[in-house]
Amino acid sequence: MADPLKPLDAAPRTNPSPISQKTYPVAGILTTVFGLNGLPAQASEVACLWLLHPRLATQERMTGIATAAITDWNNRIKTSYTNDSQSGTARDVSLLIDYLPSFVFPQSEYKITQNLVLGVSLGGHAAWSCILHEPRITAGVIIIGCPDYVNLMADRARLSKLPAWTSSNPPGSQFLGSEAFPVSLLDTVRKYDPASLFLSYMDMKKSVEPLRNCTLPEPTEKEKQALQPLLARCLAGKRILNLSGGIDKLVPYHRGEAFLTWLKQAVSPNGWFSNGAVTLEDVIDESAAHEVTPKMVDEAVRFISDALAANDEDLRKSGFVRESKI
């Protein structure tokens, strides 16, 4: 897989002032914290942006995004706050939220009061899980990730002509539960993956093919009654920015599109979960492949600063959905 962050290396951007970095070994996870040296003495509260890098990359590759986010926030508010960065899985993030304060603020001179997450590619899949299952995460940015893991992997099995796909009739009808995608994995995915978790509460008419190519039905009234407490626990009041590449072949937008459309309809102002006050922005960079483009970073930085600047008066009373192509 090519480095999806490579386009940022060549993109002409302004050169912000360097941001301080300090690395801590937290519960066996090397965690780099950006911006500690810029904290004003008079501040008492801190917000953390957890950065999850792509597969095969290292935490160093997220430095540019960390710098852009911190610089934009500092320029917008004039009073410096900090953003933290680490690499790992969704469960790592929860562990780090528990223990990081004792490492970076051993005298309790600051209190972390807000946690956000941003993930790229595999880190984007993990960011979706963080948003759903970590109540301390209030906002998240997913860049070239997918909220429907089963649909994504089934499509890859089809395209690669995996024996577990081609050996059944019709092709793919026995893929889920096969050695290539065992029942134990499917059970785990249904606990943590957005699409698999939410749709498991619906009586989906089983198709012989595991791919979701069609519009998903609206839940019945009985299903809504079961889903509403789940969505309230996982998503209520949270802000989500989903950034995708229009020509991404590795994580195609259309493999998450059916679920995203279903979710946007649910949380929209007229949706059946509008009272959950979820903000969901779905933005596609039409010319982007599986890569992080400057336009994506601009959207992410704007979204992060908006989330940090929001106060109680800005909290929405109903859901908000934004769709855009850039």
Domain count, the chain: 1
pLDDT in tens, 35-44: 888 887 777 7
In a domain? residue 87: yes
Residues 264-286 pLDDT 10s: 999 999 999 999 999 999 999 99
Quickly state the pLDDT bin for 4 (edges 50, 70, 90).
confident
- Does the residue 200 lie in any domain? no
Tell me, yes or no, whether 45 lies in a domain: yes
Q: Is residue 186 part of a domain?
A: no
In a domain, 170, yes or no: no
Report yes or no on 180 lying in a domain: no
Domain that holds residue 279: 6-147+221-325
DSSP of 304-322: HHHHHH--GGG--SS-EEE
Task: List, for residues 71-101, the tens digit of each pLDDT value.
Answer: 888 776 543 333 333 234 678 889 899 999 9
- Look over the chain and give the mean of its residue pLDDT values, rounded to a whole number: 87
Is the residue at 90 inside a domain?
A: yes
CATH of the domain at 115: 3.40.50.1820
CB atoms within 10 A of CB 42: 6
- Report the Cα 202 to chain-centroid distance in Å: 23
The continuous run of DSSP H or E covering 165 comes out as helix 163-166
Q: Any alpha helices (H) in 23-119, and if so which ranges?
A: 63-77, 90-104
Q: What is the pLDDT of residues 194-249, one digit of tens each?
A: 999 999 999 876 554 578 888 899 999 999 999 999 999 999 999 999 999 999 99
DSSP string, 94-119: HHHHHHHHHHH-TT--SEEEEEEEEE
Predicted TM-score (pTM) above 0.85: no
Q: Cα dihedral sign for 156, 162, 165, 169?
A: positive
Question: In this structure, how many other beta carbons lie within 10 angstroms of the beta carbon of residue 63?
Answer: 17
Residues 5-28 as b/e (b if ≥16 CB within 10 A, e otherwise) read bebbeeeeeeeeeebebeebebee
